[in-house]
């Protein structure tokens, strides 16, 4: 039974069986029609000969009978073939339409897609994918592709909206200062120029972040994977961040990682993720707080941990924190220069290594813990 089901899942088998069925139907029609038409035709031919003075039992009866039989069977066959041909043409037209219909639907849908109607889908029978034939599976993958294109298009539109929104704030501020300067309502002093400079700086950082985001999202960067020592990553992090932590009086506590096996990854990129998480931790932890960095082996991965005693993240924001431009406290972060892109970049970098990244927080004011995994070197 499963063999038959298996065979029926192939479009080729369906076409073959259709032809076979057509041939059998034709044979059946020819057989039945000849059976019905032959006695009658034979009777007429024999009668015709008798009428012409033929002797049924005379010496000429043999050839006459044979002649009658041949003429009668010719006539019956022509009739049967005519009927069978008509039925076959009718059936073929119907069957080819049946077989071509799904392909026509896919063609129509792909043309709709080509002109930007991304919501277009092909109707597919409700059977699971494994039970569909090749055309059913083609329709299913077409629908999947259309859904992905629709999502990409929605993201693209959203991105344009987000970017315009992000650019508007600093641009409005710069314009305001310059207009104020031109009208003489804003004093032309160092403070004003510094404000303008700060806004221009924010614009520059936003553009740089966007460029980086587009690079990591499009996969337009090469990971230079090699065996990396976690302890070395931690050393580099400490070197880069120690002064900033000291300046803000936040304790940076980096745990021992010397006995961990090597991980496989791009040292700079993993360093970038650690730096990003550490900068965030520092940014959202008030003076007197602490940030702890650790790593431990979890199966065939090393799990990194960055735990801070800072502002924490309310539960309702946790699922969105890795989304582009997402900030918990929009006004505060913007004032401090965060574009809400850093974690999106970190997520892409971790995932391109085959790891994952997530965050835990007990809620506002109770600190946050970011974790991410990177695979070990395989032996």
Query: Residues interacting with ligand ADP, by CB under 6 A?
Result: 280-281, 284, 308, 310-311, 313, 321, 326-329, 333, 338-344, 368
Shortest CB 111 distance to ligand ADP, Å: 40
Shortest CB 313 distance to ligand ADP, Å: 5
Shortest CB 314 distance to ligand ADP, Å: 10
- Specify the residue, 302 or 321, whose C-beta has the smaller distance to ligand ADP: 321
- The β-bridge partners of 292 are 253, 307
- Specify the residue, 92 or 362, whose C-beta has the smaller distance to ligand ADP: 362
- Specify the residue, 136 or 342, whose C-beta has the smaller distance to ligand ADP: 342
Shortest CB 283 distance to ligand ADP, Å: 6
| 369 close to 305: Cβ distance less than 8 angstroms | yes
- Specify the residue, 77 or 326, whose C-beta has the smaller distance to ligand ADP: 326
* Adjacency order of strands within the sheet including 357-361: 251-254, 290-298, 301-308, 368-375, 357-361
- Specify the residue, 266 or 308, whose C-beta has the smaller distance to ligand ADP: 308
| 295 close to 260: Cβ distance less than 8 angstroms | yes
- Name the CA radius of gyration of the chain, rounded: 40
- Specify the residue, 139 or 278, whose C-beta has the smaller distance to ligand ADP: 278
How, if at all, do strands 290-298 and 251-254 pair?
A: parallel
Where do the DSSP E strands lie in 138-250? Answer: 226-228
Any idea which residue has 């090749």 for tokens? 134
- Specify the residue, 80 or 328, whose C-beta has the smaller distance to ligand ADP: 328
d(CA 337, CA 332): 9
- Specify the residue, 255 or 330, whose C-beta has the smaller distance to ligand ADP: 330
d(CA 256, CA 294): 7
Two tokens, residue 84: 């069978």
Q: For 298, which DSSP code?
A: E
Shortest CB 164 distance to ligand ADP, Å: 18
Q: Which among 186, 217, 232 is positioned nearest to 345, based on CA atoms?
A: 217
Burial class (CB in 10 A: 0-12, 13-18, 19+), 368: buried
Shortest CB 341 distance to ligand ADP, Å: 6
| 245 close to 282: Cβ distance less than 8 angstroms | yes
What dihedral do alpha carbons 258, 262, 263, 266 form, nearest 10°? Answer: 90
d(CA 370, CA 117): 40
Shortest CB 344 distance to ligand ADP, Å: 6
Shortest CB 368 distance to ligand ADP, Å: 4
Shortest CB 340 distance to ligand ADP, Å: 4
- Specify the residue, 135 or 270, whose C-beta has the smaller distance to ligand ADP: 270
| 192 close to 177: Cβ distance less than 8 angstroms | yes
Query: By Cβ distance, which residue is nearest to ligand ADP?
Result: 338
């Amino acid at each position: 039974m499963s063999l038959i089901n298996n065979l029926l899942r192939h479009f080729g088998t369906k076409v073959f069986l259709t032809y076979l069925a057509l041939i059998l139907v034709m044979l059946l029609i020819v057989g039945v029609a000849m059976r019905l038409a032959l006695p009658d035709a034979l009777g007429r031919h024999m009668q015709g000969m008798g009428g012409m003075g033929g002797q049924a039992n005379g010496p000429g009866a043999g050839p006459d009978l044979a002649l009658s039989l041949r003429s009668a069977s010719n006539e019956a066959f022509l009739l049967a073939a005519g009927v069978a041909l008509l039925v076959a043409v009718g059936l073929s037209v119907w069957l080819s339409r049946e077989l071509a219909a799904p392909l026509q639907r896919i063609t129509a849908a792909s043309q709709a897609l080509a002109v930007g109607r991304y919501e277009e889908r092909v109707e597919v029978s409700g059977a699971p994918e494994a039970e569909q034939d090749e055309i059913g599976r083609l329709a299913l993958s077409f629908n999947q592709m259309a859904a992905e294109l629709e999502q990409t298009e929605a993201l693209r539109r959203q991105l344009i909206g987000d970017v315009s929104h992000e650019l508007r704030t600093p641009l409005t501020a710069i314009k305001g200062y310059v207009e104020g300067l031109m009208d003489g309502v804003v004093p032309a002093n160092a403070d004003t120029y510094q404000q303008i400079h700060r806004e221009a700086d924010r614009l520059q950082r936003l553009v740089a972040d966007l460029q980086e985001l587009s690079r990591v999202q499009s996969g337009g960067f090469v990971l230079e994977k090699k065996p990396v020592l976690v302890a070395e990553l931690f050393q580099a992090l400490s070197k880069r961040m120690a002064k900033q932590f000291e300046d803000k009086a936040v304790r940076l506590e980096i745990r021992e990682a010397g006995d961990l096996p090597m991980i496989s990854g791009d040292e700079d990129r993993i360093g970038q993720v650690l730096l990003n998480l550490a900068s965030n931790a520092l940014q959202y932890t008030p003076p007197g707080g602490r940030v702890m960095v650790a790593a431990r082996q979890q199966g065939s991965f090393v799990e990194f941990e960055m735990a801070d005693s800072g502002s924490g993240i309310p539960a309702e924001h946790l699922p969105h924190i890795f989304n582009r431009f997402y900030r918990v406290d929009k006004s505060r972060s913007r004032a401090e220069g965060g574009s809400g892109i850093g974690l999106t970049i970190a997520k892409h970098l971790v995932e391109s290594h085959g790891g994952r990244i997530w965050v835990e927080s007990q809620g506002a004011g109770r600190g946050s813990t970011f974790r991410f995994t990177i695979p070990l070197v395989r032996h």
